[in-house]
Amino acid sequence: MIELVNIVKKFEDRTILNIPYLAFEEGKRYVLMGVNGSGKTTLLRIMAGTLKPDMGEVKNIPRENMGYMPQLPYAFGFTVRKNVEIALPKSPSSTEKAMHALQAVGMDGMATAHGHTLSGGETQRMAFARMIALPHTLLLLDEPTSSADIRGMDEIETTLLRYVADTGCTTIISTHSPAQALRLAEEIIFLDKGEIVEQGSAKSVLRNPQNEDVKLFLKHWKI
């Protein structure tokens, strides 16, 4: 079980994350929700190890077997296929694995395209292919479909659910979309001003929220 204990992150005088305790069960799908600036990205970055908390500890993170897709993934200046291959250990089958991952997100036709020519949505699909090219025990995905069109979003979501079913990995995804949360989450963690204000099963949080901020947030989405 991955545990976050007394995590505090401040930016100048402003506390952007304050989590006394949070645990993630193995093999479960979690969705982080909240308005802009609620602390979703900060939480994922601390778990990924790209941001150090001012206080607290993250326990039992499988760093060697973790995939993290940032909000703005980078497409390197070589082919799309090589962009995926960099995530794989060098082996004779790495090209085949990369192509298989690209095929899963409908990007195999762009395998020889240059990374710098990709659109935002294509970059996200390529970055997601990097994540699923290897079997991980933990996936951290920061708004993985924010730039994708409906087809791209569907391909990423369908592939993700299949990948999780195959590998049994723990998945933590951030999103603004309640509809996407309903499709992907087993459990929703709702953040506001860096604190957890509601947590529970996807259906209970989305259909019967208790917290006033969550109610207000969901009112705008009319689900």
Partner 1 sequence: MDSIIQAIKLLFGADPELRQIIGVTLRMSFSSTIISSLLGIPLGVFIGSTEFRGKAWVLRITNTLMGLPPVVAGLIVLLILSRSGPLGKLKLLYTVTAMVIAQVVLITPIITGLTNNIVSLRAPQIQETAVGVGLSRSKQMLYTIYECRMQLISTVLAGFGRAIAEVGAVSIVGGNVQYKTRVMTTAIMLQTNMGHFEFAIALGIVLLVISFLINAVVQRLQEGKLRDD
Nearest residue (CB) to partner 1, 37 versus 70 = 70
Examine residue 50 and tell whether it contacts partner 1 (CB under 8 A).
Answer: yes
Query: How many binding residues for partner 1 (CB under 8 A)?
Result: 24
User: Which window, 25-33, 73-81, 148-156, 165-173, contacts partner 1 (CB under 8 A)?
Assistant: 73-81
Examine residue 100 and tell whether it contacts partner 1 (CB under 8 A).
Answer: no
**Residue 148 φ then ψ, to 5°:** -80, 150
3-state secondary structure of 219: helix
Examine residue 66 and tell whether it contacts partner 1 (CB under 8 A).
Answer: yes
Sheet bearing 2-11, strands edge to edge = 14-24, 2-11, 55-59
Amino acid identity for residue 219 in this structure: K
**CB neighbour list of residue 112: distance below 8 Å, 6 or more residues apart:** 79, 80, 81
Report the distance separating Cα 127 and Cα 222, nearest Å.
31
Instruction: Please give the residues from 138 up to 177 whose contact with partner 1 meets the rule CB under 8 A.
Output: 140
User: Which window, 11-19, 113-121, 157-165, 196-204, contacts partner 1 (CB under 8 A)?
Assistant: 113-121
Cβ at position 147, least distance to partner 1 in Å: 14
Cβ at position 26, least distance to partner 1 in Å: 20
Report the distance separating Cα 27 and Cα 46, nearest Å.
20
Examine residue 121 and tell whether it contacts partner 1 (CB under 8 A).
Answer: no
3-state secondary structure of 196: strand
Cβ at position 70, least distance to partner 1 in Å: 4
Element (H, E) at 133: none
